[in-house]
């Protein structure tokens, strides 16, 4: 909020220089964001916290400045020179919706001469960011800036029957506001009406029909206390945020209405705008009992961790306008001034005392109690370990937004019905690209690939540990009870993406672009580094992946995730020039698959024997099946099976391939003899022939 220094100084005689004022107010809670201009002409820009609606005006800031700096506070002039007829015969006010209007005060000014307001007033309005209009409107705005009371001026002659009715709008009612826009009203909006139809949207904006104009001769001034929630809802619904609606939304206290209207009337008379009619109409159905708070000085000190003298507490509260009804050592009764709508309980007074005493004077302490036993967060630890392993494999961490859209999911070829079934949709999105939460990390990963590719960065190896979200089935929700059941399923996943080269080419050799087996190898290395050995890969079909190059990772018959080559159609849509590979693994399931503490095995005491074998099998026999047959017949003596060559070509029959393995044999309790190894090896050969129809190409 903009506050000119000179205006502020009018209420606080002896106000220090602007820089000092800014610093003092900032440290007592009225943060000065910046100082515009210099010296006497300085304008402060204050950030008013949401609870301090009483500070959304120059006098409110003056009150804070006086309390903070220990200076005297001077009130604006409220003596009204009344010289017109009595108001009673000029207008009537009736509040029907008393729940939404705590108070409505009106005054009438007759023999009005519309013209410009004086230069000094216009200057102040402009420096506070408000455009001058005419003397009547400018005075209402000036008083709003000065005291925080929004005012409205009606052309009284244009209010039918000179009757003001404060009521809820009737459904179907509409009116044109002074900005020329037609407004449809609904039954929960509060309006100011004449005898029959609305002339203003209460607390938001007046109507064009009753606007003060050149020809206006009689003005009805309104100062009211409308319900903050009601004004807030109406202004949100109509998308009309005005200076008045902003203040009403944050709270205008009923007592201020009378000060505001008298101040405006005093200025009308003083600036000879017209003659102020005698008296005011004051409908006050919402008169509230004053707020008293019990304060225990010992509790103040206990919560702050300090020992402030009781007299100092007293003096601080009095400076802030609190009235001390009773003051005892143990328990006091404090009356809250009506503008402090934010102070309702003892803790609020604790803050009042602390902020004026000075936050900086409160000593730093460390909580006295013993810290609780720390439980390490296992998911977080795994996340960190997985990150280390993947970075060691050359993958760079990314952090993406969790949003996506139906269109982006469709680009990944995800079936329409799955998107619909699982999507967690945002009801008020602000961008067409961010309409739902992602159901898979794939959407975010390909987004990163595409962005990098579009910037000529074609070699990308990335990972992310992030959440995916799925709406739960209706049946699932029914099974659980409570509100929690309506929350979606959130899973933390590890996503990987590779594109282009993983290793930089060097001057001695060109490195190949990554392929399916780079991705698979990185996953295998990850599993190995996590101590997981009982895993399997199964061929699968995934809409986003190449149908012949996709696999599922299975551990203990649980589906942990999948990986494969990005489907060429998707790759083309994304504009990728190199092949990309994606993987997504469920972090929590991985955690459950991890073994306990590592146990060291004794070092091998007996030598290993290595034999190579090349087998010819039909082309569609998977290497995994061949390996299974080797292990099966290994009689516990096979230590390692390593595929070192896959060959298809003139030396094997058409429709066949040759797979060459190096098999390492070892016994833990003896040196194997040639005969023993030979026997096992022969059994393996036989098992291969029987199990997968393999014939031996060569062996050593």
Partner 1 sequence: MDEKTKKFVSDAKKSIESAMSLPDLEEIRVKYLGKRGEITQALRSLGKYSEDERPKIGRLLNEARETVREMIEARRVEISAIDLENKLKAEEVDITLPGKRPSIGTRHPVSVVYEELERVFARLGFEVLEGPDVELDYNNFEALNVPKNHPSRDIQDTFYITDDIVLRTHTTCVDIRIMKNRKPPIRAIIPGKVYRSDASDPSHLPVFHQLDGLVVDEGITFGDVKGVLARFAHEFFGPDTDVRFRPSYFPFTEPSAEMDVSCVICNGAGCRVCKNTGWLEILGSGLLHPRVLREVGFDPEEISGLAFGMGIDRVTMLKYGIDDIRLLAENDMAFNRQFIHA
| Contact predicate 343/293, CB 8 Å | yes
Q: Does 631 bind partner 1 (CB under 8 A)?
A: no
393 binds partner 1 per the rule CB under 8 A: yes
Q: Which is nearer to partner 1, 203 or 274 (CB)?
A: 203
- Name which position in 13, 20, 34, 678 contacts partner 1 (CB under 8 A): 34
CA distance 554 to 558: 5
Our measurement of the distance from residue 16's CA atom to the centroid of its chain's CA atoms, rounded to an integer in Å, reads 40
Q: How far is the CB of 385 from partner 1 (least distance, A)?
A: 12
Binding residues for partner 1, total number by CB under 8 A: 99
Binders in 41-100 for partner 1, by CB under 8 A: 49-52
Tell me the residue length of the chain: 700
Comparing CA positions, the residue from 154, 157, 128 lying closest to residue 141 is: 128
CA distance 506 to 501: 12
509, burial (CB in 10 Å: exposed 0-12, middle 13-18, buried 19+): exposed
Q: Which of 5, 253, 442, 469 binds partner 1 (CB under 8 A)?
A: 469
CA distances from 253 to 50, 93, 98, 102, 477 (A): 15, 20, 15, 9, 46
Minimum CB separation of residue 160 from partner 1 in Å reads 33
6 phi and psi angles, rounded to 5 deg: -65, -40
**Shortest approach of partner 1 to residue 353 CB, angstroms?**
9
Q: Going residue by residue from 478 to 497, which x/- string records binding to partner 1, judged by CB under 8 A?
A: -----xx-xxx-x-------
Pick the closer one to partner 1 by CB: 32 or 609: 32
Contact between 217 and partner 1 per CB under 8 A: no
d(CA 249, CA 228): 4
Please report how close the Cβ of residue 482 comes to partner 1 at its closest, in angstroms.
10
Confirm or reject binding of residue 369 to partner 1 (CB under 8 A).
Answer: yes
Determine if 17 is a binding residue for partner 1 (CB under 8 A): no
Cα 294 to its chain centre, rounded Å, is 37
Q: Which two tokens stand for residue 586?
A: 């469920």
Q: What does R_g of the chain's alpha carbons equal in angstroms?
A: 40
Nearer to partner 1, 480 or 619 (CB): 480
Rounded to the nearest 10 degrees, how much is the dihedral formed by the CA atoms of 147, 148, 154, 155? Answer: 40
Determine if 402 is a binding residue for partner 1 (CB under 8 A): yes
For residue 228, which of 377, 56, 358 has the smallest C-alpha distance?
Answer: 56
Which of these segments, 386-394, 564-572, 574-582, 691-699, binds partner 1 (CB under 8 A)? 386-394
Q: How far apart are CA 367 and CA 243, in angstroms?
A: 44
CA dist 154 and 229 (Å) reads: 24
- Choose one: 26-34, 136-144, 534-542, 582-590; the region binding partner 1 (CB under 8 A): 26-34
| Spatial contact of 316 and 356, defined as CB atoms under 8 Å apart | yes
Contact 335, 290 (CB under 8 A): yes
Do the Cβ atoms of 680 and 665 come closer than 8 Å? Answer: yes
**Window 414-453: contact mask with partner 1 (x via CB under 8 A):** ----------xxxxxxxx--x--x----------x--xx-
Of 129 and 392, CB closest to partner 1: 392
Residue closer to partner 1 (CB basis): 268 or 437:
437
Minimum CB–partner distance for residue 566 and partner 1 (Å): 17
Pick the closer one to partner 1 by CB: 236 or 534.
Answer: 236
Tell me the closest approach of the beta carbon of residue 426 to partner 1, in angstroms: 5
Of 159 and 502, the one with the shorter C-beta distance to partner 1 is: 502
What x/- string results for residues 129 through 158 when contact with partner 1 is judged by CB under 8 A? ------------------------------
- Pick the closer one to partner 1 by CB: 122 or 228: 228
Smallest distance from partner 1 to CB 49, Å: 4
Helix or strand or coil: residue 340?
coil
CB 585 within 8 A of CB 560: yes
Interaxial angle between packed helices 243-250 and 228-237, expressed in degrees from 0 to 180 and rounded to the nearest 10? 140
Distances (CA, A) of 64 to 61, 141, 262, 358, 589: 5, 22, 23, 14, 57
> Min. distance of Cβ 370 from partner 1 in angstroms?
7
| Cβ 54 to partner 1 shortest distance, Å | 13
Window of 215-223, 327-335, 461-469, 602-610 that interacts with partner 1 by CB under 8 A: 461-469
Distance, CA of 122 to CA of 130 (rounded, Å) = 9
For the CB of residue 526, give the shortest distance to partner 1 in the complex, in Å.
Answer: 12
Q: Of 495, 501, 496, 497, which is closest to residue 459 (Cα–Cα)? A: 501
Binds partner 1 (CB under 8 A): choice among 110, 400, 610, 699:
400
Structure tokens given for 541: 């079909």
Instruction: Pull the structure tokens for residue 664.
Output: 């390492």
> By CB under 8 A, what part of segment 295-334 binds partner 1?
302-306
Q: Which is nearer to partner 1, 235 or 658 (CB)?
A: 235
Q: Min. distance of Cβ 605 from partner 1 in angstroms?
A: 33
Q: The tokens of 300 are what?
A: 């103040």
**DSSP H/E element including 269:** helix 254-270
Of the residues 85, 387, 543, 691, which one makes contact with partner 1 according to CB under 8 A: 387
- Fill in the per-residue mask, 668 to 697: x = in contact with partner 1 (CB under 8 A), - = not in contact: ------------------------------
- Site residues for partner 1, 235-294, by CB under 8 A, read 249-251
Asked if 524 is part of the footprint of partner 1 (rule: CB under 8 A), the reply reads no
Enclosing H/E stretch for 599: none
Of the candidates 213, 251, 254, 42, the residue with the CA atom closest to the CA atom of residue 114:
213
474 is a site residue for partner 1 (CB under 8 A)? no
| Helices (H) then strands (E): counts for the chain | 21, 32
Residues whose CB falls within 8 Å of the CB of residue 213, separated by 6 or more in sequence, listed in order: 114, 155
Q: Which two tokens stand for residue 354?
A: 């602390």
Stretch that binds partner 1, among 135-143, 209-217, 331-339, 400-408 (CB under 8 A): 400-408
Binding test (CB under 8 A) with partner 1, winner from 461, 494, 551, 659: 461
- Residue 467 or 605: the one with the smaller Cβ distance to partner 1 is 467
Shortest distance, position 293 Cβ to partner 1, whole Å? 12
- Region of 164-172, 322-330, 502-510, 570-578 interacting with partner 1 (CB under 8 A): 502-510
Q: Where are the beta strands (DSSP E) in 540-632?
A: 545-555, 558-566, 580-586, 609-618
Name the minimum Å distance from CB 493 to partner 1. Answer: 13
Interface with partner 1 in residues 339-368 (CB under 8 A): 342, 345, 347-348, 350-351, 354-355, 359-360, 362-368
For the record, the structure tokens of 697 come out as: 């190409």
Element of type H or E holding 602: none
Q: Rule CB under 8 A: say whether 460 interacts with partner 1.
A: yes
| Footprint of partner 1 on 219-238 (CB under 8 A) | 228-229, 232-233
Smallest gap from residue 380 Cβ to partner 1 (A)? 5
Q: DSSP 3-state assignment of 445?
A: helix
396 binds partner 1 (CB under 8 A): yes
Residue 375 contacts partner 1 per CB under 8 A: yes
By beta-carbon proximity to partner 1, the closer residue of 381 and 605 is 381
């Amino acid at each position: 909020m903009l506050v000119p220094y000179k205006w502020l100084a009018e209420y606080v005689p002896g106000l220090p220089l602007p820089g000092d004022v800014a610093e003092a107010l900032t440290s007592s809670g009225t943060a000065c964001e910046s100082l515009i201009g210099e010296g006497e002409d300085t304008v402060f820009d204050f950030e008013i916290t949401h609870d301090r609606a009483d500070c959304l005006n120059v006098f409110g800031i003056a009150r804070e400045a006086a309390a903070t700096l220990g200076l005297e506070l001077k009130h604006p002039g409220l003596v009204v020179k009344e010289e017109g007829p009595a108001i009673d015969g000029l207008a009537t006010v009736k509040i029907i919706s008393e729940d939404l209007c705590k108070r409505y005060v009106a005054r009438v000014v007759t023999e009005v001469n519309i013209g410009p307001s004086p230069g000094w007033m216009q200057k102040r309005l402009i420096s506070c960011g408000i455009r001058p209009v005419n003397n009547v409107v400018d005075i209402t705005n000036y008083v709003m800036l000065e005291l925080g009371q929004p005012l409205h001026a009606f052309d009284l002659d244009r209010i039918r029957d000179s009757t003001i009715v404060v009521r809820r709008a009737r459904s179907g009612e509409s009116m044109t506001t002074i900005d020329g826009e037609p407004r449809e009203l609904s039954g929960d909006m509060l309006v100011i009406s004449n005898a029959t139809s609305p002339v203003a949207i209460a607390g938001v904006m007046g109507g064009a029909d009753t606007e003060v104009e050149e020809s206006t001769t009689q003005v009805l001034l309104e100062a009211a206390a409308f319900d903050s929630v009601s004004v807030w809802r109406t202004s949100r619904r109509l998308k009309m945020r005005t200076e008045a609606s902003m203040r009403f939304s944050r709270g205008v206290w009923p007592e201020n209405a009378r000060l505001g209207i008298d101040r405006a009337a005093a200025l009308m008379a003083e600036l000879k705008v017209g003659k102020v009619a005698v008296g005011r109409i004051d409908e006050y159905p919402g008169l509230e009992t004053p707020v008293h708070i019990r304060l225990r000085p010992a509790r103040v000190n206990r919560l702050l961790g300090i020992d402030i003298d009781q007299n100092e507490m007293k003096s601080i509260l009095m400076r802030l306008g609190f009235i001390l009804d009773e003051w005892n050592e143990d328990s006091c009764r404090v009356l809250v001034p009506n503008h402090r709508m934010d102070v309702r309980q003892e803790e609020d007074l604790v803050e009042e005392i602390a902020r004026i005493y000075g936050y900086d004077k409160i000593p730093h302490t460390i909580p006295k109690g013993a810290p609780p036993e720390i439980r390490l967060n296992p998911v977080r630890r795994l996340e960190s370990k997985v990150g280390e392993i993947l970075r060691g494999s050359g993958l760079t961490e990314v952090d993406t937004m969790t949003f996506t859209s139906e269109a982006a999911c469709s680009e990944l070829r995800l079936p329409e019905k799955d998107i619909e079934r699982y999507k967690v949709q945002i009801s008020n999105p602000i961008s067409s690209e961010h309409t739902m939460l992602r159901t898979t990390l794939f959407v975010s990963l390909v987004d990163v690939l595409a962005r990098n590719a579009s910037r000529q960065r074609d070699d990308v190896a990335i990972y992310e540990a992030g959440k995916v979200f799925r709406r739960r089935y209706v049946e699932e929700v029914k099974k659980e009870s409570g509100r929690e059941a309506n929350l979606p399923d959130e899973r933390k996943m590890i996503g990987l993406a590779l594109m282009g080269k993983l290793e930089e080419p060097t001057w001695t050799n060109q490195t190949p672009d990554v392929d399916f087996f780079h991705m698979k190898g990185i996953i295998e290395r990850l599993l190995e580094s996590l101590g997981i050995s009982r895993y399997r890969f199964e061929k699968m079909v995934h809409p986003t992946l190449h149908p012949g190059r996709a696999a599922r990772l299975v551990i203990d018959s649980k589906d942990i995730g999948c990986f494969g080559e990005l489907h060429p159609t998707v790759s083309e849509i994304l504009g990728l020039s190199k092949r990309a590979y994606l993987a997504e693994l469920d972090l929590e399931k991985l955690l459950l698959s991890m073994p306990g503490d590592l146990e060291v095995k004794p070092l091998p005491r007996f030598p290993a024997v290595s034999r190579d074998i090349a087998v010819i099998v039909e082309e569609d026999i998977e290497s995994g099946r061949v390996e299974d047959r080797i292990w099966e017949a290994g009689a516990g003596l096979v230590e390692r099976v390593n595929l070192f060559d896959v060959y298809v070509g003139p030396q094997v029959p058409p429709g066949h391939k040759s797979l060459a393995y190096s098999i390492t044999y070892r016994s833990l309790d003896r040196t194997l003899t040639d005969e023993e190894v030979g026997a096992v090896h022969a059994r393996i050969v036989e098992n291969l022939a029987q199990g997968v129809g393999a014939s031996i190409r060569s062996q050593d």
